[in-house]
Amino acid sequence: MAYTEEELKKELETKEYEYGFYTDIESDTFPKGLNEEVVIALSKKKEEPEWMTLWRLEAFKIWKEMTEPEWANIHYQKPDFQDISYYSAPNKKPKYESLDEVDPELLDTFKRLGISLDEQKKLAGVAVDIVMDSVSVATTFKKTLAEKGIIFCSISEAIKEHPELVKKYIGSVVPKKDNFYAALNSAVFSDGSFCYIPKGVRCPMELSTYFRINQAGTGQFERTLVIADKGSYVSYLEGCTAPSRDENQLHAAVVELIALDDAEIKYSTVQNWFPGNKEGKGGVYNFVTKRGLCERNAKISWTQVETGSAITWKYPSCILKGDNSIGEFYSIAVTNNFQQADTGTKMVHLGKNTKSTIISKGISAGKSQNSYRGLVQVNSRADNARNFSQCDSLLMGNECGAHTFPYIEAKNKSAQIEHEATTSKIGEDQIFYCNQRGIDTEKAIALIVNGFSKEVLNKLPMEFAVEAQKLLEISLEGSVG
């Protein structure tokens, strides 16, 4: 598993020389551009087995043939894929057993971002697999998890250590040719998390990964694979914050969830990438493909709080393949200033007695555009499928927009589908009521927004809910008008 320092040194030296990569003080970064050689080099750099390299190359071939999707209700300057560096990693590769060994500078960055590792370790029992510019640098609580047989590691490690699992499941839910960004990710994914819960095991703690973008001009291509074996349970948290950036950063992640018979996966996200400044300059482009597959009696629940990114393009979906499986989607998407979000979900009912729930809350302020786009599809074999969807939008200010694009396709007569959507603003009487009780307008709005989003906030794990609530307040700061 861990290589000796000598080997590492040697490797670093030779690799750099071989491919002519430049390294600045903190991280080594590929030169900008994307071609087959870059894909091969990336794969080599990560010491991947041959099958993985071939897999990536195949994805790259598919990607070259594809064009960027334009159907989303977002407008932006398309990223130049040749102007992005496809690999950047902190230079100290060895894994640490304890925090003391971690580069103090790195730790300092985390602290400034308000995430204290030791605090989290103590407080919540959260095992944190930190991803700093794509490569895991610290993994905690690994031992406790190992005792249960749970595998929680970076995906590059998993490719090396558990190739049979990765080989079997990677690309099984989000195929390489699924869409433009999924194909790109498949070709050049840098790292990500891998999680396997064995049969009948209930994961004793919330698994969590914090993502950071820290290197200028670096695209982040995360790949997450969560497999819950028969009868197991896992709650997975993903949180993102990114420091201010002037140029646009591209983020194209792929998340695949596999819930085998009777398993349950709860996947929560708090996303707060840099949204660009008040003039709409900068900000992260977030093009994410997230999808889960439910086998018999399985359940997948997506919860997301989206406050960041200049552009969000994200549809966490559930394929309800097995009979009696359940899919859930709870989402809050907040857009302010010049942010644009086109987000929603897909619920594909294939099995009998499948159920899905969609609760989506959109809040738009400033000059932002917020769209809900969803698909509920009931196939002809999906007897007694049930869906309930609700999407509510809250508008703050008269320069923003809220849009809904729900697609409903039913091919089975026993299907029961309900969809409702409302759009409104915060009532003046509501604010007045708060004001006359001594609550100032800003607070009142926070209060009302909180109530508006409560249905979704309640679905978040405790530690996350608090953070998310704060995030909502911060993102809407100064939008009173």
Partner 1 sequence: MAFENNVDMDHPIHDIRSEAIKNFETKGFPSKKEEAWKYTSLNSLQKIDFSIFPKEENALEYHQVKKYFLHEIDTYKIVFIDGIYSSYLSETTHDGVDICLMSSALTKPMYQQVIDVYFNKVASKEESLTTLNTAFSREGAYIYIPKNKAPKKPVEILHFATGNEATLMLQPRNLIIVEENAELQVIERHQSLTSNEVLTNCVTEIFAAKNAIVDYYKVQNDTKKASLIDNTYIAQKDKSVVKVHTFSFGGKLTRNNLNFYQNGEHIDSTLKGVTILGEKQHVDHHTLVHHQQPNCESHQDYKGIYGERSTGVFNGKIIVDKIAQKTNAFQQNNNVLISDQATINTKPQLEIFADDVKCSHGCTIGQLDEDAMFYLQSRGIPRKEATGLLMYAFANNVLESVRLPELKQRINKLIATKLGVRLGFDL
Residue owning tokens 């000598």: 6
3-state secondary structure of 394: strand
Q: How far is the CB of 179 from partner 1 (least distance, A)?
A: 16
Q: What is the residue type of 357?
A: T
Six-digit token string for 314: 């994200």
Q: What is the residue type of 386?
A: R
Q: How far is the CB of 344 from partner 1 (least distance, A)?
A: 12
Cβ closest to partner 1, residue 79 vs residue 397: 397
Cβ closest to partner 1, residue 163 vs residue 406: 406
- Residue 88, phi then psi, degrees to nearest 5: -155, 130
Q: How far is the CB of 274 from partner 1 (least distance, A)?
A: 26
Q: How far is the CB of 396 from partner 1 (least distance, A)?
A: 7
Cβ closest to partner 1, residue 232 vs residue 377: 377
What is the DSSP secondary structure assignment for residue 25, as one 8-state letter? S
- Residue 159, phi then psi, degrees to nearest 5: -60, -35
| Cα dihedral: 218, 136, 188, 343 (round 10) | -80
Taking the alpha carbons of 317, 347, 425, 434 in that order, is the dihedral positive or negative? negative
Nearest to 185 by CA among 81, 44, 341, 269: 81
Cβ closest to partner 1, residue 314 vs residue 386: 386
Six-digit token string for 329: 């989607």
Q: What is the residue type of 294?
A: C
Task: Evaluate whether 382 touches 413 at the Cβ level (below 8 Å).
Answer: no
Cβ closest to partner 1, residue 84 vs residue 385: 385
Cβ closest to partner 1, residue 209 vs residue 389: 389
Task: Evaluate whether 267 touches 236 at the Cβ level (below 8 Å).
Answer: yes
Cβ closest to partner 1, residue 208 vs residue 312: 312
CA-based end-to-end distance of the chain: 57
Cβ closest to partner 1, residue 18 vs residue 409: 409
What is the DSSP secondary structure assignment for residue 298, as one 8-state letter? -
Q: In a 10 Å sphere around its CB, with 0-12 CB exposed, 13-18 middle and 19+ buried, how is residue 408 labelled?
A: middle
Residue owning tokens 């690309």: 171
Q: In whole angstroms, give the CA distance from residue 354 to residue 212.
A: 37
Q: How far is the CB of 417 from partner 1 (least distance, A)?
A: 4
Q: How far is the CB of 399 from partner 1 (least distance, A)?
A: 7
> Which residues would be at the binding site for partner 1 (CB under 8 A)?
71, 378, 380, 393, 395-425
Q: How far is the CB of 83 from partner 1 (least distance, A)?
A: 30
Taking the alpha carbons of 34, 40, 44, 47 in that order, is the dihedral positive or negative? positive
Q: How far is the CB of 379 from partner 1 (least distance, A)?
A: 10
Cβ closest to partner 1, residue 220 vs residue 371: 371
Q: How far is the CB of 59 from partner 1 (least distance, A)?
A: 25
